[in-house]
Amino acid sequence: MSEQKLQSQTVQTTGHAWDGDLQEYNNPLPVWWVYTFYATVIFSIIYWVIYPSWPIGKDWIGGLSKITYVNSAGETRTHSWNTRALLLKDLNQAAAEQKPYFDKVSSMSYEQIAKDPEMNGFILSAGKALFADNCAPCHQAGGQGVVAFFPNLTDDDWLYGGSFDKIHETLMGGRRGYMPAFSDVLAGEQIDQLANYVAKLSGIGHDATKAAAGDVLFHSETAACYYCHSSDARGRKDIGAPNLTDNIWLWANVPATDAAEGKVAAIRSVIANGLNKGVMPAWAGRLSPEQIKVLTVYVHELGGGQ
């Protein structure tokens, strides 16, 4: 291919020609391009000096940049820059910022906290985080619980009482709900009668004859239900025996079905098998007194308290 056929006399080419007339321009890069490269080299050197860079055996060069924080024990710690120390610094800083609020919580009475708008806001946010970390696995994120497993904390029924002091007691010492299995003591027919009576108490469809017999059985020494649930069936808060006359179901999953037989069957199953799974752990020692106080007010707020 002759020189004349090569294009462009103004822009120089590399001098190659492929397939006859394919050529490559030889335009130089603008010089700022190479300056940018030098700038990145300088940047990397500054970076080595400031941040941890080279490993030396099991150690490394820490760099000039340091992170200083005061830990929960009040000791000042200094590390060369690393993300773990950065996190610890943030956490300790946040804890220090929260401290005045927690101090306020421990110095105020429950009633004062509940009436102070600023503290109320703090309880709602701090309580939500504490609840989500510690309580939500059983009681669910919103405190609604799970029927037949964990009590609903958002309704107005309080098994052990809904005052600040009672909630505090529950949190500190934990609770254990227990009901014996009556299938060992009573005949299937008697359990059926009791189940119909309990359904009647809550205004659910039932067999009137069986319910009448159940009423007698409930108050008899044979079944002795009234020992715990009391003779008016409204339960006893001192031992956490539930109120059987309201619309709230803890163990028998009555709301799960619309059919009356299904509801009675759910009650029957609880009477027959009893339950030994109502365990709430004690939180004293696991959480700080202030945290338990925050949770007490938070849980009180969830269901409106008593």
SS3 227: helix
Stretch that binds another protein, among 135-143, 169-177, 211-219, 269-277 (CB under 8 A): 135-143
Closer residue to another protein, CB minimum distance, 18 or 54? 18
Q: Does 124 bind another protein (CB under 8 A)?
A: yes
Closer residue to another protein, CB minimum distance, 33 or 54? 33
Closer residue to another protein, CB minimum distance, 193 or 243? 243
CA 281 to chain centre: 16
| Smallest separation, CB 259 to another protein (Å) | 15
Q: Give yes or no for a contact between 155 and 142, defined as CB atoms under 8 angstroms apart.
A: no
DSSP string, 46-69: HHHHHS---EETTEE---S-EEEE
Site for another protein, residues 103 to 122, rule: CB under 8 A: 114-115, 117, 120-121
| Smallest separation, CB 166 to another protein (Å) | 17
| Smallest separation, CB 80 to another protein (Å) | 18
SS3 276: strand
Which residues on adjacent β-strands are paired with residue 79?
Answer: 67
Q: Does 304 bind another protein (CB under 8 A)?
A: yes
Q: Give yes or no for a contact between 231 and 221, defined as CB atoms under 8 angstroms apart.
A: no
Binding mask 224-263 for another protein (x = CB under 8 A): -------------------x--xxx------x--------
Closer residue to another protein, CB minimum distance, 144 or 273? 144
Q: Specify the long-range contacts of residues 142-147, CB closer than 8 Å, at least 24 apart.
A: 143/299, 143/302, 143/303, 147/249, 147/250, 147/253, 147/255, 147/256
Residue with tokens 């600023």: 118
Q: Whole-angstrom Cα distance, residue 194 to residue 264?
A: 10
Closer residue to another protein, CB minimum distance, 135 or 223? 135
Closer residue to another protein, CB minimum distance, 124 or 216? 124
Q: Does 272 bind another protein (CB under 8 A)?
A: no
Q: Give yes or no for a contact between 265 and 97, defined as CB atoms under 8 angstroms apart.
A: no
Closer residue to another protein, CB minimum distance, 95 or 124? 124
Contacts of 11 (CB under 8 A, 6+ apart): 25, 26, 27
Stretch that binds another protein, among 98-106, 152-160, 184-192, 215-223 (CB under 8 A): 152-160
Site for another protein, residues 1 to 60, rule: CB under 8 A: 12-16, 26-34
Query: CA separation (Å) from 27 to 9, 13, 197?
Result: 13, 8, 97
Q: Whole-angstrom Cα distance, residue 24 to residue 15?
A: 8
| Smallest separation, CB 178 to another protein (Å) | 22
What is the binding site for another protein (CB under 8 A)?
Answer: 12-16, 26-34, 114-115, 117, 120-121, 124-125, 140-144, 152, 154-157, 243, 246-248, 255, 301, 303-304
